[in-house]
Structure 1
Amino acid sequence: MPPREQRFERIMNDRYCVLLGPVARFTQVQRLRLAPGDVVETVAEIRRLVSESGHLDAEWWVGDSATPRDLAKRLLELGLVRAERPPHEPRFTAMALVDAPAEVPGVVARPVETFEEYELASDIAENAFAVPESERAEWRRIARERWEIEKAPESRVKRFLAWVDGQPAATATAVFGDAGALLIGGSTLPEARGRGAYRALVRTRWDEAVRRGTPGLVVQAGAMSRPILERLGFQPVCRIEALLDPSSA
């Protein structure tokens, strides 16, 4: 098994799923299925788990299927806040695509091929998402190890770059599963927006999913990406509220 800083850890039971990433601030709480009387106890349990793991800034994703129905309201009353601090957003839409998106002429988009391109993609994403310097330093510390993992033929994670007029303009990542690909991290430099780089990255990830025999894409769309994804044919599946837990900071 890789060292702790190189891997993801998933802790899941019938009430929740906690995903701990390779850096301390990659902390997500998902798939919440709580009984009304269990909310307070479960929040305390997850707070202990996050603290004991050395993680920070737990982000709770409360989807339409989360229970109880007023879970977001209850979490706010317990001290969580809406995720409005960059790079977070307070609301997302889960979307899916099962038909090929349009090709984008004039934009080159492909998987990264070298560590230098991997670092370039990281810089673009961090700048586009306004990632704090402290978090950037954490990712830079393990960049070489992450690249070695992701470039392996058996890796399910692949990072992509797009070039506009010969200049690096955007990046995105895909996590390939048994039924399709999860699109994450799509980000474009401000000066390159509106030139098709984001759309080209969707198309090249679709092509890779098809190559792997799993022609389907899912994504958690934010305010900027949802209109683009809708035009590409993505359909909404559910809404997600994102909350941050300051007590885990």
Structure 2
Amino acid sequence: MDHAAVLALYDRDMRQGARPDGTGARIERDASVVRQVGSAHGWNGIVWSDLDETTADTVIAEQVGYFADLGRQFEWKLYGHDLPVDLGKRLRAAGFTPEPEETLMVAEAADLTLDVEPPEGVRLLPVTDPTAVDLVADVHRRAFGTDSTRLRAQLLAQLSDDRDQVVAVLALAGDEPVSAARMELVPGTRFAGLWGGGTVPGWRGRGVYRALVAHRAKVAASRGYRYVQVDASRQSRPILARLGFEPLTTTTPYVSA
């Protein structure tokens, strides 16, 4: 993989060319940033920026004011190659709080190891209705220890708007949901995005997450997407590397006060 070329393509397709992620969201562009403005319960944030040492602080202050006028908390998604090099420091000085750093990992779907089955006794169930969405939200809460209200609303909206653009799946051990994940497919891009993969305590380390990654990657390849990308945590990065994913850069969410 030509890492520099793929990263540039990712920036063009997924950041500069970002699309709204659900009903009621919109993408706004100006010379310095691309931002998504969503509902109060949706995702609001900066997905791309073109800044330097002379413009960064002014543009940061402008975005803080813009979202404050809307009554929205927002996220500045900072990538490791974004400029200026001290942008994270400038965001912290402006009152943002960084969340844990993740690694943007990408693979060509055709090169992935996809002959991965769930562990014995576990089956995969497509998520297509509100009852299954509730199960996904519960798995997310148990896996990550965080509120899943926004995830539930987002997934319901995505399934209602266009089922072809989201693939969500549950892993069930018997009738017990033990893991869940989704994939977002953006028309006109070459990247399928893997999101939300989480496994409840007691089922980690058994190959469930690996099976969910392989399942979604197979779907992406069958629909003509060349690349599969994921923001990988420290825990999931080794699993993804064994499947064939390669790191491109880091990504850190900076959350406004």
Query: What band does the TM-score fall into relative to the shorter chain?
Result: 0.7 to 0.9
The DSSP-based 3-state class of the residue aligned with 2:133 is helix
* Letter of the 1:100 counterpart: L
Note the alpha carbon deviations across 1:62-105, whole angstroms, 9 max, x for none: 2122111211122222222222xxxxx2x111010112334124
Q: Which residue in 2 is equivalent to 1:173?
A: 182
After the TM superposition, which residues 104-183 of structure 1 pair with which residues of structure 2 at under 5 Å, given as runs? Answer: 104-105=117-118, 106=120, 107-132=122-147, 136=149, 142=153, 146-147=155-156, 149-150=158-159, 155-177=164-186, 178-183=189-194
* Letter of the 1:62 counterpart: L
Q: TM-score, normalised by structure 2?
A: 0.79
After the TM superposition, which residues 1-249 of structure 1 pair with which residues of structure 2 at under 5 Å, given as runs? Answer: 6-24=23-41, 26-56=43-73, 58-83=74-99, 89=100, 91-98=101-108, 99-102=111-114, 103-105=116-118, 106=120, 107-132=122-147, 136=149, 142=153, 146-147=155-156, 149-150=158-159, 155-177=164-186, 178-246=189-257
Taking a change above 3 Å as real, the CA distance of residues 7 and 172 of structure 1, as seen in their structure-2 partners, is: farther
Post-superposition shift, 1:17?
2.1
* Letter of the 2:69 counterpart: E
Q: TM-score, normalised by structure 1?
A: 0.81
Post-superposition shift, 1:189?
0.8
Q: CA RMSD in A?
A: 2.4
Conserved in 1, the CA contact under 8 Å of 2:61 and 2:94? Answer: no
Number of equivalences: 229
Q: Distance in 1 between matches of 2:58 and 2:254?
A: 18
Taking a change above 3 Å as real, the CA distance of residues 217 and 18 of structure 1, as seen in their structure-2 partners, is: same
Q: Distance in 1 between matches of 2:157 and 2:247?
A: 35
Q: Which moved more, 1:221-230 or 1:46-55?
A: 46-55
Give aligned-pair identity as a percent: 27
Post-superposition shift, 1:165?
4.6
* Letter of the 1:197 counterpart: V
Conserved in 1, the CA contact under 8 Å of 2:34 and 2:47? Answer: yes
Gaps of 5+ in 1: 84-88
